[in-house]
Amino acid sequence: MGLKKLVKQVFINKYNKRYENELNSRRVSYRDWIADLESGPGSSDCGTDGGCDCASASCPVEFVVLCNPRGREAEHARLWAGSWFARFPEALILYGDEDVWPEGEERRSPYFKPDWSPDLLAGQFYPGGFVAVRKEWFETCTGELTDYNCDTRSLVCRLVELAGGYEKGRGRRTILHIPRILFHNESEAAGEAWMNYGKPPYGCNSQALSEGEAVSGMLSVIIPSKDNPDLLEKCIHGILETSADLRYEIIVVDNGSSQENRVQLEALLKAVRRSGAAGLARLLYHYEPMEFDFSRMCNLGARKASGELLLFLNDDVELVEPGCLKGMAQMAARPFTGAVGLKLLYPDGKELRRIQHAGITNLPMGPVHKLQFCSDEKVYALGRNRGRQNVLAVTAACLMVEKEKFMEAGGFAKELQVAFNDVDLCFQLYELGYENVCQCDCFAFHDESYSRGDDEAPEKLERLLGERRRLYERHPLLAGVDPYYSAYWNREGLDTHIRPQYETQGNRVQRVERLTAGGSGPEPAGYRQDPCLMVRVESALANGEQSGVIVTGWSVVLGDNNACYEKELILRPQAETTADEAVEFYRIPLQGQYRPDLTENMPDQVNVGLCGYQVELMYAALPEGRYRVGALAGNRVTGTRLINWSNRVVDI
């Protein structure tokens, strides 16, 4: 090795070591995180979080505790239960989070739970090792419980029914989740055996959750489609092959296919009519040229539907599992159920089985598809991609709902022509008291690329952000809120994995209170524009009217060692200028955020774990206006200087 290369390697080793040290300093163990959380305000009394002013030991509410014998209560579990019973007079049953803490060992394996989820309870006893029941009410139920004394879990399931857990909206008031660790399992096996024990003989196997023998009434399948005859043919054949024991109709809403494709579509539909498919009562083709408006097309199809159940289905979805529509219909027809979705996989090979949709999660940055691109061969977050999961929303690529409930919710919002109309519908159903559910014990294929297009195009991003803003204007109480996704799971950035929040607890928002211009012109001198420098803005959220905007994203230099780079965020005003005018731009040195998802998603790239950023731009730091966001990267070893721009803008 020559002297020059040797010197470079010395510096590379130096920066690699610095990177590893910084990475280790950002990682937080569960032991340290939970110790900090439980020593904070309100941790051992029923003040701050509990909302009760009385002394914990003298809370006037009496309650019964039902526990897993293979573990122990957390130190303050009963104090928290007493506090919540006092704070919420309607509460009849309480449960909390749990972890594993064998005697003499470190705490580990936390299970952070959702709020009341009736469909999740059908597959696992997720209330877990500590369940508290209001004693006064429990004693009034004794006549209903004589057969349950020998099985604690079946007893709880029966109590859930008596508490109105399967009545529209009532379970959310009577069965509450305390977001605190209330129980320590003696081992992972003990906790799993207690929760994943199969359907009990009583309670959870009740008529409220049973699937019944048959589905009464008609199912109307509504398919918006344009210029996709080959996809539509595959979609319709999927319906025909998976609709056993159903009576159904298919309504195709075409917003303007070409004449050639229209002829092909009509020939396809004519052949389907002649096939005499079992259960197919009607096949309707509605052709009406119009600008793409998903809400309008679906509402139009719903008006023409004669079925009691509606299934909204993208033409790029292929149903492959016999009986999946029957299962969805049986759930959708239950009185307490709103929208029913299906797990969707990308059609890119059985060996990959990548998830496209397993329910929609509502984060501060907006609705996201958690587990998207993850392999369905693995099980995540104690079964989030298995069985039935209550979720705040499901995608309208495959969404079933009773027509009466659809009309009660107002249908798809006309204000949301392209994006978030399905989320809005599910939000409406949730606010009416219904439970939305994603059926993850079966799946369909969704070739999302056909319907989605290029979401990075500036005009599409602008529209997307505008429709997201309108979504939360319509549902202000749900902005950044998801009762089925614990606040202790990761919530920042577009990390589609479900991982504990404590893993990135060492990160801090980089607050920028003062900025000076970093030069003028189209871009800084000496930097080469190169797409190998990737820069992504995942969200730009206002942090209060008088504070600033928090910009979250990541920047990675592809094909090089990112530990050797210094990076900056760059902001350039989007004001109209003449060719001769010099435009001031602003540069922000980045401290780097720990992003384990980047390491997992880019295994072929070097040292990308600290390539995230989260910067709060204070309103006082910049002149009012709109700024395009980019990144600069300078290699401290080779002197390489790179620049690239995102398609996102930030309003100050």
Q: pLDDT, tens digit, for every residue of 308-317?
A: 999 999 999 9
3-state secondary structure of 613: strand
Q: Is the Cα dihedral 112, 118, 121, 123 positive or negative?
A: negative
**Percentage of the chain surpassing pLDDT 70?**
90
pLDDT band at 7 (very low <50, low <70, confident <90, very high): confident
Model confidence band, residue 209 (pLDDT cutoffs 50, 70, 90)? low
Residue 522 is encoded by which pair of tokens? 């189209």
Strand 175-185 relative to strand 93-100: parallel, antiparallel, unpaired?
parallel
pLDDT of residue 211: 53
Confidence of residue 228 (pLDDT cuts 50, 70, 90): very high
- DSSP line for 314-368: -TTEEE-STTHHHHHHHHHTSTTEEEEEEEEE-SS-TTT-BEEES-BEEETTEEE
Q: % helix / strand / coil in the chain, to the nearest 5?
A: 30, 30, 40
Average pLDDT, the chain: 90
| Mean pLDDT value of segment 438-459 | 77
Q: Please indicate whether residue 352 or residue 629 has the higher confidence score (pLDDT).
A: 629
Given a cut of 60, whether residue 650 has pLDDT beyond it is yes
Interior CA angle at 495 toward 373 and 601, to 5°?
A: 55
Cα gap 186→108, rounded to integer Å: 11
pLDDT band at 201 (very low <50, low <70, confident <90, very high): very low
**What own/partner pairs with CB < 8 Å and gap ≥ 24 does 642-645 have?**
642/527, 642/528, 642/529, 642/530, 642/532, 642/533, 642/557, 643/523, 643/524, 643/527, 643/528, 643/529, 643/530, 643/533, 643/570, 644/529, 644/530, 644/531, 644/533, 644/534, 644/535, 645/535, 645/572
* Cα–Cα distance measured from residue 635 to residue 324, given in angstroms and rounded to the nearest whole number: 54
**Beta-carbon neighbour count of residue 583 at 10 Å?**
15
Going by pLDDT thresholds of 50, 70 and 90, the confidence category of residue 144 is confident
| Per-residue pLDDT tens over the stretch 470-493 | 999 999 999 999 999 999 999 988
Q: What is the pLDDT of residue 459?
A: 78
Q: DSSP strand E in 157-246: where? A: 175-185, 218-225
Q: What would the mean pLDDT of 78-92 be, rounded to a whole number?
A: 97
Q: How confident is the model at residue 618 (pLDDT cuts 50, 70, 90)?
A: very high
- Residue 597: how many other CB atoms lie within 10 Å: 19
Listed residue (288, 290, 300, 256) closest to 412, CA to CA = 300
Q: Would you state the pLDDT for residue 24?
A: 93
Other Cβ atoms within 10 Å of 638 Cβ, number: 14
Q: What is the pLDDT of residue 276?
A: 82
Q: Which of 66-80, 221-235, 538-552 has the lowest mean pLDDT?
A: 538-552
CA-based nearest residue to 564, from 12, 20, 26: 12
**566 Cβ partners below 8 Å, 6+ apart?**
589, 633, 634, 636
Tell whether the model's pLDDT for residue 119 goes beyond 70: yes
Give the phi and the psi of residue 400 in degrees, each rounded to 5: -115, 140
Question: In the chain, what are the domain boundaries?
Answer: 44-205, 218-478, 504-651
> Per-residue pLDDT for 181 more than 50?
yes
Q: Which CATH architecture has domain 218-478?
A: Alpha-Beta Complex (3.90)
In the predicted model, what is the mean pLDDT of residues 277-306? 95
Q: What is the pLDDT of residue 582?
A: 64
Residue 204: pLDDT over 60:
no
Q: Which of the pair, 201 or 378, is modelled with greater confidence? A: 378
Mean pLDDT of 502-516: 90
Entry pTM: 0.92
Distances (CA, A) of 642 to 67, 76, 186, 518: 59, 54, 53, 16
Fold designation for 504-651 = Immunoglobulin-like (2.60.40)
Looking at residue 322, its pLDDT comes to: 92
Flag whether pLDDT at 49 surpasses 60. Answer: no
The tens digit of pLDDT for each residue in 540-598 reads 998 877 789 999 999 999 999 999 999 999 999 886 554 455 678 899 999 999 999 99
**What per-residue confidence (pLDDT) applies to 451?**
57
